[in-house]
Structure 1
Amino acid sequence: MRGENMLIDHLNARIIKEKSPIVVGLDPRWDLIPEAIKHENLKAYGETFKAVAESILHFNKGIIDAVMESAFVFKPQIAFYEQYGIEGIEAYYKTCQYVKEVGGIVIGDIKRGDIGSTSEAYAIAHLGETTIGNRSLKAFDSDFVTINPYLGSDCIAPFLNQCQTHDKGVFVLVKTSNPSSGELQDLFVGNTRIYERIADWVHGWSIKTTGNSGYSSVGAVVGATYPEELKRLREKMPNSIFLVPGYGAQGGGAKDVVEAFDSNGLGALINNSRGILYAYRKTGENYQIAAKKAANEMKASIVLELERVAK
């Protein structure tokens, strides 16, 4: 079934126009933020969460501004902000706001998933609206979020409902990039591995929400560190955009992610966090200059590999 799905069709149109399937993961680490930024905020706020949060926001804005010509999708991982308390959460909120202000798309990497009523609260917080009296207010207002399907379909349903109501999207964890993912995800249920069973669920949800571009607002997280599984899962979920972590610092490269794409260069968003955020630590350059170069090189490498495979 195809129809109006403005977010996913808009995303694909931009990927085609800008030739960029890159996601920049905004995973700020206090110890890796440039010393000049930290020094300024420690001087202003002392050794406090406020100093950390202001440093994170300064750093994130600098990265976003630097890489926008190569990447327009950004994925802040909420745990890197939660560890700094209320001030850290405020930095997360302001980061998401800033991405939208400059015309980017936000993937809230929240990995939520709980019993129905709790999932509904998570879904409203990150995708929907909360009604207070006569007003409807948005809390974090991500475009997409990552969700954990371990509790089953009733933990997913509230997110799908918010997607339909507010034209949002989700990426369901299917085959993750971490080394121990197989301890659970590769176990068999009958003749089917758990990650394949989840892929079947995702496909069933995706065909109900397919836009004019042929893709759905229900996507899947599939790691670049498992290229063979990536290839099989592309066949099992033809209507789902893949969010592909594991590029760069985790060992994945352009050749590892090419199977996530269709013949038109669509179907995947490739995430790189540390390799872009902290490129300056290897080059010795200004952090924005180094990030811009790293993003440009990543984009060029993936586009070149897609062109090679297409020949």
Structure 2
Amino acid sequence: MSPAEAFGARLRRAMDTRGPLCVGIDPHASLLSAWGLDDDVAGLERFARTTVEALAGRVAVLKPQSAFFERFGSKGVAVLERTVADARAAGALVLMDAKRGDIGSTMAAYAATYLDPGSPLFSDAVTVSPYLGFGSLRPALDAAAASGCGVFVLALTSNPEGAEVQRATAAGGRSLAQVMLDHIAAENAGAEPLGSVGAVVGATLGDAGADLAVNGPLLAPGIGAQGATPADLPAVFGASVGDVVPSVSRAILRHGPGAAALGEAAERFSDEVRAAVGHRNERFR
């Protein structure tokens, strides 16, 4: 696989062969405890390694939540580096859930951290926040394009507090979220089979109330612990449901620490997603 191949193309292939599912690696203290692990670096490493071993060969995307590693300082970041490398080596695409957002040289530094092939945290994609203005993301967008990576832009998130910003009316009468979605669509114009700039749109919204035709992937958090189910996806995403990458974390991770149980839980969710969105999976054809 060429390292310059666009993320959108790599993601579409992964979705078609493994099913359109993203599993978060979220080592909450409560999950470590439920697995019988201590809330320390050793517990973190065991949790992350088990999750990667169980799922990296099965699902399209693994999504480490950076904050749960960073809380342990440099040793936690070292575990995150190994987690990313091991997951990618096993065939999963890695989406770093970092939600970075800044301007100028600082945004460029974040881009170098996650989107430069020479970085120890190099990932296939990263989540970013556009609410310092979409133009502030340019260093990340350019770095991603250069390295064949992706960027997922927060648009309509699953947390209820997000509405006060994302649903606010911008110039011209569009919601601020729609402004961001329109920028994403412009970035993806002409891309085939799928653009590399994605949007984060919560599966809990009921009705997105926005034009989601961005020609890019739609990361859909909120399934499982936050209350949404795969059956909710068509109502939220409409005609764009085929580009949805549902994200599930605790509802799968709670089945650990056994690798077999984790894998079975992921397969069940993947089957439910395929049934809900009519998505093919080459492994079962």
Fold equivalence (TM over 0.5): yes
Tell me, in whole angstroms, the C-alpha distance in 1 between the residues paired with 2:99 and 2:35. 32
Please state how far the C-alpha of 1:261 moved relative to its aligned partner. Answer: 7.2
1:225 aligns with 2:213: no
1:290 aligns with 2:278: no
Q: Which residue pairs with 2:138 in the alignment?
A: 157
Contact 1:148 1:172 in 2 (8 A): yes
The one of 266, 269, 286 aligned to 2:245: 269
> Any residues of structure 2 matched to 1:1-311 within 5 Å, and which?
5-18=5-18, 20-33=19-32, 38=37, 52-68=40-56, 70-128=58-116, 137-190=118-171, 191-207=173-189, 210=191, 212-213=192-193, 215-229=194-208, 232-235=210-213, 237=214, 239-258=215-234, 259-260=236-237, 266-280=242-256, 287-307=258-278
Tell me the amino acid that sits aligned with residue 301 of structure 1. Answer: E
Tell me, in whole angstroms, the C-alpha distance in 1 between the residues paired with 2:179 and 2:253. 35
Query: Which one has a bigger Cα radius of gyration?
Result: 1
Please state how far the C-alpha of 1:68 moved relative to its aligned partner. Answer: 4.1
Tell me the amino acid that sits aligned with residue 117 of structure 1. Answer: S
Please state how far the C-alpha of 1:22 moved relative to its aligned partner. Answer: 0.6
User: Do the aligned partners of residues 165 and 244 (structure 1) sit closer, same or farther apart at CA in structure 2, a change above 3 Å counting?
Assistant: same
C-alpha offsets along residues 130-163 of structure 1, whole Å, 9 cap, x if unaligned? Answer: xxxxxxx323101000000011133210011101
Tell me, in whole angstroms, the C-alpha distance in 2 between the residues paired with 1:165 and 1:261. 32
User: Do the aligned partners of residues 118 and 249 (structure 1) sit closer, same or farther apart at CA in structure 2, a change above 3 Å counting?
Assistant: same
Tell me the amino acid that sits aligned with residue 17 of structure 1. Answer: T
> How many residues are treated as equivalent by the alignment?
274
Contact 1:175 1:221 in 2 (8 A): yes
Please state how far the C-alpha of 1:97 moved relative to its aligned partner. Answer: 0.9
Contact 1:149 1:173 in 2 (8 A): yes
Tell me, in whole angstroms, the C-alpha distance in 2 between the residues paired with 1:307 and 1:124. 37
Q: TM-score, normalised by structure 2?
A: 0.88
Tell me the amino acid that sits aligned with residue 28 of structure 2. Answer: R
Gaps of 5+ in 2: 280-285
User: Do the aligned partners of residues 98 and 168 (structure 1) sit closer, same or farther apart at CA in structure 2, a change above 3 Å counting?
Assistant: same
Q: Which residue pairs with 2:282 in the alignment?
A: none
Tell me, in whole angstroms, the C-alpha distance in 1 between the residues paired with 2:57 and 2:147. 28
Tell me, in whole angstroms, the C-alpha distance in 1 between the residues paired with 2:175 and 2:41. 41
Tell me, in whole angstroms, the C-alpha distance in 2 between the residues paired with 1:187 and 1:221. 17
Contact 1:127 1:163 in 2 (8 A): yes
Gaps of 5+ in 1: 40-50, 130-136, 281-285
Q: Which secondary structure does the structure 2 equivalent of 1:14 belong to?
A: helix
RMSD: 2.2
Tell me the amino acid that sits aligned with residue 287 of structure 1. Answer: G
Give me the identity figure in percent: 30
